[in-house]
Amino acid sequence: MQIEVGESFCLAVTDELGVYSWGLNDHRQLARPIDLTKSHYGPGQCRSLSEIQPRVISSGDEHSIMVDYKNNVYVWGSNLSG
């Protein structure tokens, strides 16, 4: 349904409103737990977002913002630039 590309990671929202991510996770930009044995993550579901139905999602360099159908705003990843 939607794909967003950050500097070093990607996010995708499926037709079923699931959120998947892949790439680097050094700033928790994947919304997935950090595994210190990995440098890159393959595609996987963002389980921490599984109860949220995303209406729109957007990615920056190392962060993402999501708005759900209740107009709640979620932000994760690096906060280096505000």
The whole-number pLDDT of residue 14 equals 95
In total, how many domains does the chain have?
1
Query: 82 in a domain, yes or no?
Result: no
Query: 25 in a domain, yes or no?
Result: yes
Query: 11 in a domain, yes or no?
Result: yes
Rounded to two decimals, the pTM is: 0.89
What is the extent of the structural domain holding 72?
A: 2-77
Query: 28 in a domain, yes or no?
Result: yes
Query: Comparing 36 with 71, which gets the higher pLDDT?
Result: 71
Asked if residue 81 has pLDDT above 70, the reply is no
Query: 27 in a domain, yes or no?
Result: yes
Burial grade of 17 (CB within 10 A; 0-12, 13-18, 19 or more)? middle
Burial grade of 13 (CB within 10 A; 0-12, 13-18, 19 or more)? buried
The whole-number pLDDT of residue 82 equals 55
Q: Using DSSP, state whether 7 is helix, strand or coil.
A: coil
Asked if residue 32 has pLDDT above 60, the reply is yes
Query: 42 in a domain, yes or no?
Result: yes
Q: In angstroms, rounded to a whole number, what is the distance separating the alpha carbons of residues 53 and 6?
A: 21
